[in-house]
Chain A
């Protein structure tokens, strides 16, 4: 089995979209954005495609921020990374701007109560840290260590290019035991958890908490 890792290009757009969508599902049937925005999966994928076309760095909807793991030349896993707020805006604000421009005002206003509820479990990313997101492996390639390889490659690339960054962070749903276990194997430890008993959160995320895991790098 030959495994190679390379930076994603526009030619990987479909696989990147799959990675983002499946990572957002976090093991469930529904993309959390669909629940939050009240849109179908098809509608969300059109939005996602348009948002990726904008090429906004510093958040997860940015194709060149992804690394792709290929098994025998076939895309098998992907994940993205960025340095949090290396520019003028936090990744969450960059994403808000993207969402504003790629959905309608009525959809956004209708989604506000859901978005407001999600703040109860939202964990702020730390400025200047390496953020790793949208980690996805195709089902047939799981249990081969691809997730760990991708995470280590993200860290290695940033260690080479930016010595000032000394922490990597991953934010995930508290119920995602498989992901938590995979990240623990590559040295991440849980540093924060936010839990809510608000039933809206459970309805939107199928989970009542979010956690942040962290690893010292450099």
Chain B
């Protein structure tokens, strides 16, 4: 799956969890850029991302995400290793 496809899935997840019609995600996006992405919705987002892609992040992987781009790279790596 390429990064555009991953982003399409992520947009859908973020819209559902954050109850928004549209969420713009880029490699540089962080929680501070998106209204409603707080510690509570963060747990729901990560859970939904793992379920959507059928992957499991390691704790230290998730702790090192500086932005959405880091998460996308990690998803890609895990999907490639499947």
Distance between Cα atoms of A7 and B66 in the complex (Å):
29
Q: How far is the CB of B73 from chain A (nearest CB, A)?
A: 15
Within B49-64, the residues touching A (CB, 8 Å) are: 59, 62-64
From B30, B44, B63, B65, contact of A112 by CB (8 A): B44
In the complex, number of A-B residue pairs with CB atoms less than 8 Å apart: 45
Q: Does B27 contact A (CB under 8 A)?
A: no
Contact B40 A54 (CB under 8 A): no
Contact A100 B47 (CB under 8 A): yes
Distance between Cα atoms of A36 and B30 in the complex (Å):
27
Distance between Cα atoms of A119 and B36 in the complex (Å):
11
Secondary structure call for the A interface: helix
From A88, A93, A101, A108, contact of B39 by CB (8 A): A93
Contact A92 B39 (CB under 8 A): yes
Secondary structure call for the B interface: helix
Query: Closest residue to B40 on the A side, CB-wise?
Result: A115
Contact B59 A96 (CB under 8 A): no
Contact A100 B43 (CB under 8 A): yes
Distance between Cα atoms of A7 and B32 in the complex (Å):
32
Contact B38 A98 (CB under 8 A): no
Query: Closest residue to A99 on the B side, CB-wise?
Result: B43
Interface residues on A, range: 20 to 34
One digit per residue, 1 when the CB lies within 8 angstroms of any chain B CB and 0 when it does not, for chain A 105-124 equals: 10010001001100100000
For A112, what are the chain B residues with a Cβ–Cβ distance below 8 Å? 40, 44
For B63, what are the chain A residues with a Cβ–Cβ distance below 8 Å? 56, 89, 94, 97
Most buried by B among A94, A96, A112: A96
Contact A96 B47 (CB under 8 A): no
Known: A100-B62, A108-B43. 17 other contacts (CB 8 A): A54-B59, A56-B63, A88-B30, A88-B66, A89-B63, A90-B31, A90-B39, A92-B38, A92-B39, A96-B39, A97-B42, A97-B59, A97-B62, A112-B40, A112-B44, A115-B40, A119-B40
